[in-house]
Amino acid sequence: MTGVLVAGSSGGIGGAVIDELARRGIPTLGVDRDTFDVTLPGGAEAAVAHATEILGGVTGVVHAIGMSGRRLGDGPVTECTDEAWAEVHRVNHESVFRLLRAAIPVLGSTGGGAVTVVGSALAHTLDDDFLTVAYASAKGALVPLVRSSAFVGRRFGVRVNLVSPGVVDTPMARRAVESPEVSEQLRHLQPVSGGAQAADSVAKVVCWTLSDEALDLSGAVIPADGGWTLR
């Protein structure tokens, strides 16, 4: 990898990806909503162009942007508000489309590369403590988006994959992690990690998908979820 763009670098997983890439000696540029906002029209194109200029080329892109819609009224389908539905899908789904559309041709024009998107185990499983229809459906919509992008990406020499963690110990999940009841539940839901996952553990999986060790991997949905989807 000659350079990696990480969208969502101020978040827990995005920040951990930045740290892991730095540990591996890979030039990296992080962007978030305060710099190049890929959730807005034109933001993804600007972020990719800026990273290409600053890094002298980009061969890897990570989308680690995400938001919880609970404060806007996300919840069961009978209770979810229009505002939560629209905003969660705009940030967690539409921004992925924008970044994939911008990144794949640019990576292809310089010899190819890889794009990895961070999803969620909540796209594939259900639990009463995490019943948020907007979040789950937005993350679930990433599966066909990533697979269809991988199908097109092969013509550009670009691999596209989805890494789906469970509940990770990040600021976004602080409500769950700090609740004694939910923390106890997580020990059962995520038996491999024994509770909330460490962000650096998920980051290692993300960085592996970008590396030359995963050259045959594209269109994959990787459940790096502490064992949640084993149930």
Q: What is the tens place of the pLDDT at every residue in 178-231?
A: 677 777 778 878 888 888 888 999 999 999 999 999 999 999 999 999 998 887
Please report whether residue 231 resides in a domain.
no
pLDDT at 177 over 70: no
Please report whether residue 45 resides in a domain.
yes
Our count of domains for the chain comes to 1
Structure-token pair, residue 71 = 């404060």
* pLDDT at position 184: 78
Q: Which residues share a beta bridge with 80?
A: none
Segment 93-112 mean pLDDT: 98
- What is this structure's pTM? 0.93
Residue 221: count of CB within 10 angstroms of its CB: 16
Please report whether residue 197 resides in a domain.
yes
Structure-token pair, residue 200 = 């650096």
pLDDT tens-digit map of 25-64: 999 999 998 899 999 999 999 999 999 999 999 999 999 9
Helices (H), the chain: 12-23, 43-55, 82-89, 95-109, 133-140, 142-153, 174-177, 180-189, 199-210
Segment 7-34 mean pLDDT: 95
Helix (H, G, I), strand (E, B) or coil at 59: coil
Segment 97-106 mean pLDDT: 99
Q: Which domain holds residue 72?
A: 4-225
Per DSSP bridges, beta strands 158-163 and 221-222 are parallel
* pLDDT at position 173: 65
pLDDT at 115 over 90: yes
pLDDT at 176 over 70: no
Please report whether residue 63 resides in a domain.
yes
* pLDDT at position 55: 97
* pLDDT at position 174: 67
* pLDDT at position 211: 97
* pLDDT at position 197: 84
Question: What CATH number did the domain enclosing 175 receive?
Answer: 3.40.50.720
Please report whether residue 230 resides in a domain.
no
